[in-house]
Chain A
Amino acid sequence: MPTGLEVRGLSKRFGGLVVAEGIDLDLAPGARTALIGPNGAGKSTFANLVTGILRPSAGTIRFDGRDIGRLSERQRVSLGIAKTFQITNLFTRLTVRENLRLPVLEREGRCMRMFRPAQGDPEVEAEVDALIRQFDLEPLADRPVSDLAYGQQRLVEMALTLALRPRVLILDEPAAGVPSSETHLITDAIEALPGDLAVLIIEHDMELVFRVAASIVVLVNGRILTEGTPDTIAADPEVRRLYLGGEDG
């Protein structure tokens, strides 16, 4: 039985606008794949199709051989498909700790419990503490997220998604808005991800991409332009012209 994520012929139209067209993509356990492409290429849309926030116009999405294309976002989360948001989406008036406690409680199916405190379960707190330590958030742990700088909020965003213990993790521009002095926290966190986790990274920071990705998929106008190892992509003249060229100047 095939394991991991298997996307075939995925297409999405918004009215007349085609934002995904016949996308094929596999994500096996342990994959470190980067999805790059210019703004508006359809990268976030692809992530939303896989996680179930959007419904595809055509194509199939399989996970461990099972067709999940008609499952709700919730059902896909419980199967282990999770993503971070390109634009930080946190519980801003809750503390960092509470932000991380929620996904753990939700994952464990404990959120209908009404007669014991949310705070204080040793297993949950140990997990929350470990995430806080991993992302260097200790001094901020009891502050409301609204008090944090945007870069720090990006770290909470990633920690919160990891708290779901996903099997497929899609990171939508995890380093966007993070000051370069803190980018290493994101890179370190990605490198520290469990080896059997399948990771798809959407990112503009090429240094980060080349450091963590084992393969790169280039998306342009909703279609896959090319894919390959970082070396072949870096050498591809068309990629350089269309996408990387803009950054080389």
Chain B
Amino acid sequence: MRNLILPLACLLAAVAAFFVFPYDLAFLTRIVIMIVFVLSIDLVLGYAGIPTLGQAAMYGSGAYAAGLFSIHVWGDPLAGLAVGALAGAAIAALSGLVVMRARGLTLIMLTIAVAAILHELANRARGLTGGADGLRGIRVDPVLGLFEFDFIGRTGYWYALAVAVAVFVLLAVIVRSPFGLSLRGIHESPARMTAIGASVYWRQITAYVIGGAVAGIAGALAAQITQLVSLEVFAFALSAEAVIMLILGGTGRLTGAVIGTTLFMTVEHIAAANDPFNWLFVIGALVLAVVFFLPAGLIALPRALTGLIVDKGGRDADRT
């Protein structure tokens, strides 16, 4: 069960962080939410090989849907998450029908375009979304009717962490399944997948929809915990940064998404506080170092180090 060590260590670190950094819960919660979002990109880009720079389309849809749901219908957080997931899945399904017909650069441009269109729609529909002022007045009931959201953010942190763990476990099961294997097959060779009788198009749309639901959950979490949804949820920068976090940690590995996101956001947090003007250089240097020296991402660091010392033997292919 070597594959469980790293994910469990991450979980342990997340629990410990609650006690070690009690004054940074808002920041820690942002990391956890971002991890859920980056996990969604890992399924789409890391496993299925769909190049996307527009995953914020689904994140933002989930955020607005969950926010509106809690204002106008019901304040239950889990119901809100479900609504966010549905919204993300629906947007992914609708746009996926068109986007998955394209390949390469065209596909990337289309994913960006979808997010940009939604950004504009949310901006225009002021009456509904609050436009540039953001969606305000989100009220969320206690989780399971028991745990009230407090302004220090304790409940928010545990709630986000529980959702992140659930999403991680769900995705870990999916990527090990026949469906997950077929996504990796598509990533490696779409032509061969067609030749063994798979419908690459529908398989990719399915992956995109699942990834969309997870991104929608991340957006919904953000809406519920910050009690605000701004137009930024559809921003290109959000999609792009999330992809960088994934590449930093290692694509096609769920734990890679966790590590990359945590590292990126921590470095950004510290560097931005120390030097608000030059912190981007730190991130840039970090990304370049990883791309050049660890193309498989930081998750490959232990193996790369042991590889320097021990002669590289058989590699195991069972990956999380």
Contact = CB atoms under 8 A, between A and B. Distances in A.
Given A74-B194, A144-B317, A101 B177 contact: no
A90 B192 contact: yes
A90 B179 contact: no
B197 A107 contact: yes
Interface string B183-210: 0110011011111111100010010000
Given A113-B177, A115-B177, A107 B192 contact: no
Contact of A111 (B173, B174, B179, B318): B179
B189 A111 contact: no
Interface residues of A, number: 39
Contacts of B181: 94, 98, 101-102, 105, 111, 118
A118 B185 contact: no
B314 interface: yes
A111 B314 contact: no
Contacts of A107: 196-197
Interface string A88-101: 01111111001001
A98 B180 CA distance: 12
Contacts of B196: 77, 82, 102-103, 106-107, 160, 163-164
Interface string B278-320: 0000000000000000000000000000000000001111100
Given A94-B188, A94-B317, A105-B181, A119 B197 contact: no
Given A74-B194, A107-B197, A115 B188 contact: no
A114 interface: yes
A169 to B, nearest CB: 12
A136 to B, nearest CB: 18
A51 B315 CA distance: 36
A185 to B, nearest CB: 21
A106 B178 CA distance: 9
B178 A91 contact: no
B185 A94 contact: yes
B160 to A, nearest CB: 24
Contacts of B199: 74
B184 A89 contact: no
A113 B178 contact: yes
Contacts of A164: 196-197
A119 B193 CA distance: 18
Interface in B208-232: none
A116 B173 CA distance: 7
Nearest to B206: A112
Contacts of A53: 195
B292 to A, nearest CB: 20
Of listed A73, A118, A144, residue having the most chain B CB within 10 A? A118
Nearest to A147: B315
Contacts of B174: 114-115
A143 to B, nearest CB: 6
Given A78-B197, A113-B179, A118-B176, A102 B314 contact: no
Nearest to B198: A106
A142 interface: yes
Nearest to B318: A119
A110 interface: yes
A239 B180 CA distance: 50
Contacts of B262: none
B182 interface: yes
Nearest to B199: A74
B296 to A, nearest CB: 10
A83 interface: yes
Interface in A129-146: 142-144
B188 A114 contact: no
A249 interface: no
A144 B315 CA distance: 8
A143 B316 CA distance: 8
A117 interface: yes
Contact of A118 (B177, B191, B315): B177
Given A51-B195, A105-B181, 18 more contacts: A85-B192, A89-B189, A90-B188, A91-B188, A91-B192, A93-B184, A94-B181, A94-B188, A101-B181, A102-B185, A102-B196, A106-B197, A111-B182, A113-B179, A114-B174, A114-B177, A115-B174, A119-B318
21 contacts: A73-B195, A74-B194, A74-B197, A78-B197, A91-B185, A91-B192, A93-B184, A94-B184, A94-B188, A98-B184, A98-B317, A102-B196, A106-B193, A106-B196, A111-B178, A111-B182, A114-B178, A118-B176, A118-B181, A144-B315, A163-B196
